[in-house]
Amino acid sequence: MGNSTESGRGDWTFDGTWPYEPRYFDTGAGRVHYVDEGPRDGRPVVLVHGNPTWGYLYRHFITPLADAGYRVVVPDHLGFGRSDKPNKATLYTIPKHSERLIALMDSLGLQDATVVAQDWGGPIGLSWPARRPEKVRSLYIMNTFAHRPPPGTKVPAILRFIRAPLVGEFMIKGRHAFVKQLLFRAIRRDRLNAQSRAAYLAPHPTYATRTGLLVFPRQIPDSPTGPVSDFLGDVHEGLKAFRDRPVAFAWGKKDPVFPPGVYKRLWQPDFPEAPILWLDKAGHFLQEDAPELIVPNLLEFLER
C-alpha cells in the first residue's frame, strides 16, 4: 500500500521518550499504528491526535494513566506516526479517517471508554462516540471543533495559502513547513527539545510520505454544505447523546486557530455545565505546552 510504515529510522523510542510497544491494525488502505498500554481490564482511555502530530503528542499522558489502572489506546491516523503512508490523497478525507478509527475501536472491543481529542482528532475521535454512544461513557475535549460551519466562514490566511494548488505541495510536501515552521513555532520554546523535534520529523522523511499532512488543511470546510460539513453535522448531532454524561474541556488560551471564543461559541451551548480547564500559557498543542496541568485534571475527571 504505497509507502511502508517505517522511515528507515532505527530508534523509534527517541532516547526513551516513547518506550511503547508498536501494534498495528490493517484497514485495507494500509496499516494503522497504535499503542495499547495499561491493564487490559482497565477502563479504556482513547487519546486522538490531529495534524501534523501523532501519538507522540500524548507521551506525557500514557504512563500516568496506565499507572492509575486505565487501558490507554493511542492510534496514529493513516499517513501519520508509524502508520502506513500511501501517497494517495483520496485516502485522507475526514470521513475515511473516521471509518478507520471506528474500525480499530470495534476490533479492540472497547467498552465504557473515555475519548480525549484535540485538533482534527476532535471530529475524527468524537465520531466514534457519536456513532457508537453505547461504547463511550465520557468525553475530554481540547482545542477542537465538531460543528458544521456557518455561512460566510473564512479560513485563516495561512491556511488559505497552503491550500492553494502547487503552493501547498511546495510548502507542505516539499519544505515540510507544517512541521518545521507551523508546529515547531506553535509549541512553547521551553517545551520543544531535540527528542521531540526528531519525533515529529521522523514520520515524514520524504515528499511522498507527506500527503496526509497536505490533505488535512484542504479538508477544512468554509460553508455549511459539502462532504466534510455534512460529516461534522452528523458528529455534532450524535454528540447530543452525551449532554447527560460526563464531559470536560481543557483549552489553551493562546491558540490562534481555536481561541477561547471558539469554545464559548461552539461548545459552551452544547455542554453548559461541563467544567473547563483554562490554560493561560498554552496554545494549540496544549499537550506539549501544559501536560503537567492537563494530566492531573484528566485523572480527576476520570475518577468522578
Q: Which of 36, 84, 255, 289 is catalytic?
A: 255
In this predicted structure, what is the pLDDT of residue 1? 41
Buried b (16+ CB within 10 A) or exposed e, 182-216: bbeebbbeeebeebbbebbbbbbbeeebbbbbbbb
Q: Please state the separation of Cα 46 from the chain's center in Å.
A: 11
Give me the residue label for grid cell 527517541.
Answer: 14
In this predicted structure, what is the pLDDT of residue 93? 98
Kindly state the cell numbers that stand for 79: 499517513
**Beta carbons within 8 Å of 73's beta carbon, 6+ residues apart:** 34, 35, 36, 44, 45, 46, 47, 108, 110
In this predicted structure, what is the pLDDT of residue 83? 99
Give the CA distances from residue 9 to residues 16, 191, 199, in Å, rounded to whole numbers and listed in that order: 14, 23, 11
Active site residue 119: yes
In this predicted structure, what is the pLDDT of residue 269? 98
Residues of the chain with pLDDT under 70: 1-9
Neighbours of 151 (CB within 10 A): 8
CB 61 within 8 A of CB 298: yes
Domain limits, the chain: 23-302
| CATH superfamily name and code, 23-302 | Alpha/Beta hydrolase fold, catalytic domain (3.40.50.1820)
Q: Which of 36, 119, 234, 289 is catalytic?
A: 119
Q: Which of 36, 147, 284, 289 is catalytic?
A: 284
In this predicted structure, what is the pLDDT of residue 2? 44
Instruction: Give the dihedral sign, CA 91/94/96/98.
Output: positive
Neighbours of 111 (CB within 10 A): 12
